[in-house]
Structure 1
Amino acid sequence: MMTRVDLRNKKVDHGRETMEEEKLEIVDLSSMSLDSLPNPSLNLATICKLDLSNNNLQNIPESLTARLLNVVVLDVHSNQLKSLPNSIGCLTKLKVLNAAGNLLAFLPKTIENCRCLEELNANFNKLSMLPDNIGYELVNLKKLSVNSNKLMLLPHSISYLTSLKVLDARLNNLRSLPEDLENLINLQVLNVSQNFQYLETLPYSIGLLFSLVELDISYNRITSLPDSMGCLRKLQKLSVEGNPLVSPPMEVVEHGLHMVKEYLSDKMNAGHRSPLKKKSWVGKLVKYGTFNGSIRNHHSNSEEREGFIMSEYRSIDGLASPRYTGIFSPRHRFFSPKRIFTR
Structure 2
Amino acid sequence: MMTMMMVDLSQSPLSSSPKSPSNIINDDEEERLEVVNLSGLALQSLPNPSLNLTNICKLDLSNNHIKKIPESLTARLLNLIALDIHSNQIKALPNSIGCLSKLKILNVSGNFLVSLPKTIQNCRSLEELNANFNELVRLPDSIGLELTNLRKLCVNSNKLITLPTSITYLTSLRVRDARLNCLMVLPEDLENLINLEILNVSQNFQHLTALPSSIGLLMNLLELDISYNKITVLPESIGCMRRLRKLSAEGNPLVSPPVEVVEQSLQAVREYLSQKMNGRLVNTAAKKTSWGFRKLVKYGTFNGRARAWSREEREGLIMPEYRPIDILASTRFPAMCSPRRIFSPRTYFSR
* Shared fold (TM-score, shorter chain, > 0.5): yes
Instruction: State the secondary structure of the residue aligned to 1:234.
Output: coil
Encode CA deviations 1:2-57: one digit per residue, 9 max, x unaligned.
11012465749x9x967511111000111110111111132111000000000001
Q: Distance in 1 between matches of 2:237 and 2:9?
A: 54
Q: Which has the higher contact order (CA 8 A, sep 6+)?
A: 1
Identify which of 3, 10, 13 aligns with 2:5: 3
Deviation sequence 1:193-252 (CA, Å, 0-9, x none): 000000000000001100100000000000000000001011010000100000001221
- CA–CA distance in 2 between the matches of 1:60 and 1:242? 41
- In the superposition, the TM-score normalised over structure 1's length comes to 0.76
Query: C-alpha separation between the residues in 1 aligned to 2:28 and 2:222?
Result: 50
- Cα 1:210–1:6 shift into 2, 3 Å: same
Give the Cα separation in 2 of the matches to 1:63 and 1:182.
Answer: 40
Aligned equivalents of 1:137, 1:76: Cα separation in 2:
23
For residues 40 and 122 of structure 1, what CA distance do their matches in structure 2 show?
27
Name the counterpart of 1:52.
Answer: 61
Are 2:208 and 1:199 equivalent residues in the alignment? Answer: yes
Tell me the residue number matched to 1:228.
237
Amino acid at match of 1:6: D
**SS of match in other structure, 1:27:** strand
Alignment of 1:270 onto 2:279:
yes
1:76-101 deviations in whole A, cap 9, x for unaligned? Answer: 00000000010000000000000000
SS at match of 1:182: helix
Contiguous gaps of at least 5 residues in structure 2: 13-17, 281-351
Structure 1 stretches of 4+ with a deviation exceeding 2 A read 6-12, 16-19
CA deviation map 1:111-157 (0-9, x unaligned): 00000000000000000000000011100000000000000000000
Greater Cα shift, 152-161 or 245-254? 245-254
Q: 1:129 aligns with which of 120, 138, 150?
A: 138
Q: Name which of 72, 81, 101 aligns with 2:110.
A: 101
Largest Rg, 1 or 2: 2
For residues 243 and 70 of structure 1, what CA distance do their matches in structure 2 show?
47
| CA pair 30-18 structure 1, distance change in 2 beyond 3 A | closer
The one-letter code matched in structure 2 to 1:213 is: L
Aligned residues: 270
CA RMSD of aligned residues (A): 1.8
Corresponding residue for 2:318? none
State the partner residue of 1:165: 174
Q: What amino acid is the match of 2:4? A: M
Match of 1:85 in 2: 94
Aligned partners of 1:254, 1:74: CA distance in 2, in Å? Answer: 43
Matched, 1:25 2:34: yes
| Cα deviations by residue, 1:156-185 (Å, 9 ceiling, x for unpaired) | 001110000000000000000001100000
Indicate the SS of the match to 2:7: strand
Any conservation in 1 of the 2:9–2:41 contact (CA below 8 Å)? no
Q: Distance in 1 between matches of 2:263 and 2:100?
A: 50
Give TM-score, length-normalised by structure 2: 0.74
1:110 match? 119
Aligned match of 2:197:
188
Provide the C-alpha distance between the structure 2 equivalents of 1:221 and 1:241, rounded to a whole number of angstroms.
10
Matched residue of 2:279: which SS? helix
Residues 17 and 59 (structure 1 numbering): CA distance in 2 closer, same or farther, change over 3 Å? closer
Q: Secondary structure at the match of 1:270?
A: coil
Residue type at the aligned position of 1:243:
N
Aligned partners of 1:248, 1:101: CA distance in 2, in Å?
A: 38
SS at match of 2:36: strand
Aligned identity (percent) is: 69
Structure 2: which amino acid aligns with 1:29?
Answer: L
SS at match of 1:238: strand
Q: Is structure 2 residue 232 aligned with structure 1 residue 211? A: no
Contact 2:144–2:166, Cα closer than 8 Å, also in 1? yes
Q: Distance in 2 between matches of 1:17 and 1:223?
A: 61
Equivalent residue number for residue 334 of structure 1 = none
- Using the alignment, how far apart are the partners of 1:245 and 1:169 within structure 2? 21
Q: Does 1:43 align with 2:43?
A: no
